[in-house]
Amino acid sequence: MTNRLLLALAALVTAWAAPAAASCSAANTYNFSFSNQAAATLNYAAASTFTASTSGGATQNFTTAFSTNGLSSTQVAGIQMPAITNTLTTGTGGRTLMIGGTFSGRTASIAGATRVILTTFTFATPIRDLAITVHDIDFTADQYRDWLMVTGANGASTYTPTMTTPFGTNNTTGGTAGSSSLTLGPTGAPFNLTAQQAVGTGASNNTNSDFGDIAVSFVQPVTSVTIRYGNYPLSAGESNTGQQAFGISAISFCPMPSISTSKTSAPLGTTGAARFDAPGSDVVYTITVTNNGGSPVDAATIVLTDTLPAQASFYNADFDTALPGTDPFLLTAGSSGVTLAAANVSYSNNGTTYTYTPAAGYDAAVKGVKFAPQGTMAANSSFTVKYRVQVK
């Protein structure tokens, strides 16, 4: 039966930290490959919609849009850009989204609006663990020096990706590694690059090779990623600008966790006045947390804050003497993977700060309880937390 102490959570905070994000499973990962698309000529003035899918058949659309400035030609090797084509292939072959042209001059600033091509991938809802594979970032003297800058965004927040090459260069070392035909930032010499940027340093021969490849990834939730492409300023001995292009072959991402909560109450007693939440009887509150999303919730980022009604006294003793342990709460973890110890629970006697130490037994001074489960909460799982109060 519904009783007068059945209350919603007075305050609920669910959060997941961006660093060290818990990855979704392979079955829940959305994948898209331009190699699986038919050859096509796209349009710099129009957006295109593509569909990524999981191995289980779930799908999610994203859009690709372009913005250009300072192009004197939108053709490369006789092909109208942008295009889905096998002219520029990956180390394993196949088509890529080929983006390029000829700039009227060298790009002064890749972060600016002059002589750049912007490619923006947009998602209807935030996604996490986005990975994009980029190809053919290289350099040909007196023609071009590919200049790339990648930024992720979610609302007003912007993020810097992790960028790596197959040869081990990452965005913390700078310089060219192994057979890479590019340099990744941050570095100040011989190129002035931020951690979001890369420039070509040599010929990639990027037809069935990976010399010019970059793996771009974000752990933060993003709704869009913009790749800016230009032609680095002239170096010694250069005076010309030529046609240039790069390719994008694959995109993958995880869905966000989807957290919901509910709270129910039930009389502890089953006979007499206790069945009706009469004064002096005990009531059990049950808080249920469910993750309906395909991604886990990062470790130790869920916090549940519950305010007690004025007519309830918190029961600070063994929740159930028939079960192991002596805590005044009971966690049923199910398949969620979370844990909850006494150190992860705090109490308030004013509804604001949670530093109060409750007295043993029934304590009417407790105004709120805060639960901070530990561990990574699995995708598509739930757990419950129960505690007792006495009706005044």
Shared-domain flag, residues 86 and 209: yes
**Domain boundary, last residue among 255, 289, 317:** 255
Q: Which of 235, 225, 3, 260 is nearest to 129 (CA)?
A: 225
What average pLDDT score do residues 82-109 get? 90
When pLDDT is cut at 50, 70 and 90, the band that residue 305 belongs to is very high
Q: In terms of Cα–Cα distance, which of 233, 231, 225, 204 is closest to 90?
A: 204
- Binned at pLDDT 50, 70 and 90, residue 17 comes out as very low
pLDDT at 2: 34
Indicate if 194 and 320 belong to the same structural domain.
no
Residue 3: pLDDT over 50: no
Residue 180 above 90 pLDDT?
Answer: no
pLDDT digits (tens, 9 = 90+) for 37-56: 999 999 999 999 999 999 98
Q: Are 268 and 319 in contact (CB under 8 A)?
A: no
pTM recorded for the entire structure: 0.83
Let me know whether 193 and 213 are in one domain: yes
Residue 1 binned pLDDT confidence (cut-offs 50, 70, 90): very low
How far is the C-alpha of 184 from the C-alpha of 147, rounded, in Å? 10
pLDDT band at 293 (very low <50, low <70, confident <90, very high): confident
Judge if 188 and 265 occupy the same domain.
no
Q: How confident is the model at residue 94 (pLDDT cuts 50, 70, 90)?
A: confident
Model confidence at 89, in pLDDT bands (50, 70, 90)?
A: confident
Please tell me whether residues 189 and 328 are part of one structural domain: no
Whether 303 and 323 map to the same domain: the answer is: yes
What is the model's pLDDT at position 164? Answer: 92
Q: Residue 101 domain-assigned?
A: yes
Look at residue 270 in the predicted model and tell me its pLDDT. 67
Cα R_g (the chain), whole angstroms: 28
Question: What does pLDDT average to over the chain?
Answer: 89
Residues 275 and 376 in one domain: yes
Q: Is the pLDDT of residue 178 over 70?
A: no
- Average pLDDT for residues 8-28, to the nearest whole number? 54
385 sits in which H/E element: strand 381-391
Does 5 reside within a domain? no
Arithmetic mean of pLDDT, 275-286: 83
pLDDT digits (tens, 9 = 90+) for 206-229: 677 788 999 999 989 999 999 999
- One domain for residues 205 and 313: no
pLDDT at 325: 87
Could you tell me if 62 and 194 lie in one domain?
A: yes
Is 109 inside any structural domain?
A: yes
Asked if residue 9 has pLDDT above 70, the reply is: no
Cis peptide before 221 (omega within 30 of 0): no
Q: How far apart are CA 215 and CA 352, in angstroms?
A: 46
What is the number of domains present in the chain?
A: 2
Structural domain harbouring 352: 11-16+257-391
For residue 170, the 8-state DSSP code is B
Lookup: tokens for 31 = 């994948």
Q: Is residue 267 part of a domain?
A: yes
Tell me if 312 sits within 8 A of 392, measured CB to CB: yes
| C-alpha–C-alpha distance, residues 386 and 264, integer Å | 10
**Same domain as 234, residue 222:** yes
pLDDT tens figures, 236-252? 899 999 999 999 999 99
For residue 290, the domain's CATH number is: 2.60.40.1170
The pLDDT, as a whole number, for residue 189 is: 85
Would you say the C-alpha torsion 100, 199, 185, 94 has a positive or negative sign?
positive
